[in-house]
């Protein structure tokens, strides 16, 4: 096995993780090179270079003795490591990245490298229908769950995080010209109800950068924030966030594969867009106008999205 010593993580990576977790993460970042080297030694891997992406982990390219490319991923939060690895193992054989090795003591895992390169292969022309089919398949795998430990629940997330932060931001954030759309969307957030018949393990973080494509152009969903709850949440998140303000109508149409009625899905979309808009306004994020446009479109009184 080739011996390689990693340097320090990049300043950009350090900035992202410190921004996400706070200055207390600095000592962990200093220890990351040794964590990766220990994992590589344990699993007889060669180390490559840092893959500078993500806000909650550090990723390094690696390879097996026979040349199979992998990614080594180290998590700041051991609970997040456990949840992600648990979900990926539960989805094994489905449209996700495979877990090759995992070390609980290090909170590091060796994952399949999709498409043979960081970031995956080329996106196919019919991207949205293929991703919709993959998400439907992921939910099918999730319904057969046998969890070693209870994953976080969507119910708790809504009651303990989403609704309280929306109420708090409504008191402190100036929504300016978008007040009408905020007022129209608020009832959707208050009245959301889950259907236990659709309960599954959710990906819950379906941004476009978290959907890669393999050699054959098949989508593989990575970097989940898994929860257990109504599949409608994933469909709403995908519709709103996957490519903000681009193709929202096409994703809403592609979501028909889920067989979730539009009067059920649309309020979830509006609720997530409202939460996102208030977050972007509160943090000064330049994406706020784009999210406002999405919320306005979802709030339009048309038969396609009327609750």
> Is 66 exposed, middle or buried (CB count within 10 Å of its CB: 0-12, 13-18, 19+)?
exposed
How many CA atoms lie less than 13 Å away from 275 in the CB half-sphere? Answer: 20
Q: Which residues contact 263 (CB under 8 A, 6 or more apart)?
A: 306, 307
Question: pLDDT per residue over 101-132, tens digit each?
Answer: 999 999 999 999 999 999 999 999 999 999 99
Question: pLDDT per residue over 274-306, tens digit each?
Answer: 999 999 999 999 999 999 999 999 988 653 444
Q: Residue 220 pairs with which residues in a beta bridge?
A: 212
pTM confidence score:
0.94
pLDDT at residue 1 tops 60: no
Question: pLDDT per residue over 73-97, tens digit each?
Answer: 999 999 999 999 999 999 999 999 9
Question: pLDDT per residue over 17-70, tens digit each?
Answer: 999 899 999 999 999 999 999 999 999 999 999 998 778 899 999 999 999 999
Q: Please, what's the b/e burial string for 51-62 (b: 16 or more CB within 10 A of its CB; e: otherwise)? A: beebebbbbbbb
* pLDDT at residue 219, rounded to an integer: 97
Question: pLDDT per residue over 200-223, tens digit each?
Answer: 999 999 999 999 999 999 999 999
Distance CA 106, CA 127 (A): 36
């Amino acid at each position: 096995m080739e011996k390689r010593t990693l340097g320090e993580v990049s300043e950009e990576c350090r900035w992202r993780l410190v921004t996400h977790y706070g200055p207390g993460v600095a000592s962990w970042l200093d220890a990351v090179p040794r964590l990766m080297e220990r994992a590589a030694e344990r699993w007889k891997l060669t180390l490559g270079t840092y893959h500078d992406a993500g806000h909650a982990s550090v990723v390094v390219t690696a390879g097996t003795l026979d040349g199979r490319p992998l990614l080594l991923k180290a998590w700041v939060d051991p609970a997040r490591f456990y949840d992600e690895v648990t979900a990926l193992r539960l989805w094994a054989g489905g449209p996700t990245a495979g877990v090759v090795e995992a070390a609980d003591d290090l909170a590091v895992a060796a994952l399949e490298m999709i498409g043979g390169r960081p970031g995956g292969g080329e996106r196919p022309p019919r991207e949205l229908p293929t991703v919709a089919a993959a998400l439907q398949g992921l939910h099918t795998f999730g319904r057969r769950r046998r969890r070693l430990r209870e994953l976080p629940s969507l119910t708790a997330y809504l009651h303990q995080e989403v609704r309280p932060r929306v109420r708090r931001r409504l008191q402190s954030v100036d929504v300016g010209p978008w007040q009408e759309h905020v007022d129209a969307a608020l009832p959707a957030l208050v009245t959301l109800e889950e259907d236990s018949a659709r309960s599954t393990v959710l990906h819950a973080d379906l941004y476009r950068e978290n959907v890669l494509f393999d050699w054959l152009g098949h989508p593989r969903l990575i970097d989940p924030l898994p929860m257990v709850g109504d599949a409608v949440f994933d469909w709403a998140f995908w519709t709103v966030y996957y490519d903000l303000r681009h193709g929202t109508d096409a994703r809403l149409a592609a979501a028909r594969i889920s067989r979730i009625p539009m009067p059920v899905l649309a309020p979830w979309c509006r609720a997530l867009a409202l939460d996102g808009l208030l977050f972007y306004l509160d943090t000064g994020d330049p994406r706020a106008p784009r999210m406002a446009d999405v919320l306005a479109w979802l709030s339009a009184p048309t038969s396609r999205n009327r609750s």
